């Protein structure tokens, strides 16, 4: 009886795993430019207001991405984040992302400040890196998000970097999806 229960449990878990669709789709595109474009997109069962707030507020960032965040949402503003919960905003592990422009609930263009923690080969090309994120309310209660990471060079160093960025970004975006689809407080923002 115990063996039958174990077998049924394993079959159940396997069917759950295979039944899950891939929620975040990642593509590296170099067909329209000599540079690489990292395109990552997903649709979330959450209204656009909640998705926008998750991307553009301290509460949002600290709910799905990092333990510490500081946001100044304006053209020329910033998103400062820190993955180190024992750290603080402004220390050497803070990531500063500049807000180049935005259209509320439609688009935000970001540019990361390259620090000593980034690979050496990226530092001289820091001015080239942008992330353009589009938000689209697809149907009542659902939002499509499409992110374009641009400025990466089409060479082995950057292709190797993509092998790290893609799964790390996908995991982070899955955290966002989970937060938005299960946290009832986010739906009230």
The CATH code of the domain that includes 171 is 3.30.530.20
Question: Please, are residues 145 and 41 in contact by the beta-carbon 8 Å criterion?
Answer: yes
Would residue 31 count as lying in a domain?
A: no
Q: Does residue 159 fall inside a structural domain?
A: yes
Q: Is residue 2 part of a domain?
A: no
| pLDDT of the residue at 186 | 44
In a domain, 141, yes or no: yes
Q: Phi, psi (5° rounding) for residue 111?
A: -140, 120
Domain enclosing residue 153, as ranges? 55-188
pLDDT of residue 183: 59
Q: How many domains does the chain have?
A: 1
Asked if residue 12 belongs to a domain, the reply is no
Is residue 63 in a domain? yes
**pLDDT tens-digit series, residues 133-144:** 999 999 888 999
Distance between CA atoms of residues 49 and 53, nearest Å = 6
Cβ partners under 8 Å of residue 42, min gap 6: 23, 24, 25, 144, 145, 173, 177
Residue 8 is assigned to a structural domain of this protein: no
Which of the four pLDDT bands, split at 50, 70 and 90, describes residue 184? low
Residue 32 within a domain: no
Average pLDDT over residues 11-32: 62
């Amino acid at each position: 009886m115990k063996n039958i229960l174990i077998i049924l449990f394993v079959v159940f878990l396997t069917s759950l795993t295979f039944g899950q669709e891939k929620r975040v789709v990642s593509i590296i595109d170099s067909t329209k430019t000599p540079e690489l474009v990292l395109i990552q997109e997903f649709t979330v069962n959450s209204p656009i207001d909640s998705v926008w707030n998750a991307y553009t507020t301290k509460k949002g960032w600290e709910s799905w991405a990092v333990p510490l965040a500081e946001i100044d949402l304006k053209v020329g503003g910033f998103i400062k984040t820190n993955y180190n919960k024992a750290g603080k905003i402004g220390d050497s592990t803070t990531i500063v992302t500049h807000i180049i422009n935005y259209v509320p609930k439609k688009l935000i263009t970001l540019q990361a400040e390259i620090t000593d923690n980034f690979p050496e080969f990226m530092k001289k090309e820091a001015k080239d890196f942008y992330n353009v994120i589009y938000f689209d309310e697809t149907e009542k209660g659902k939002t499509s998000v499409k992110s374009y990471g641009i400025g990466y060079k089409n060479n082995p160093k950057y292709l190797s970097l993509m092998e790290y960025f893609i799964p790390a970004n996908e995991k982070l975006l899955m955290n966002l999806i989970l937060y938005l689809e299960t946290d009832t407080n986010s739906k009230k923002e």
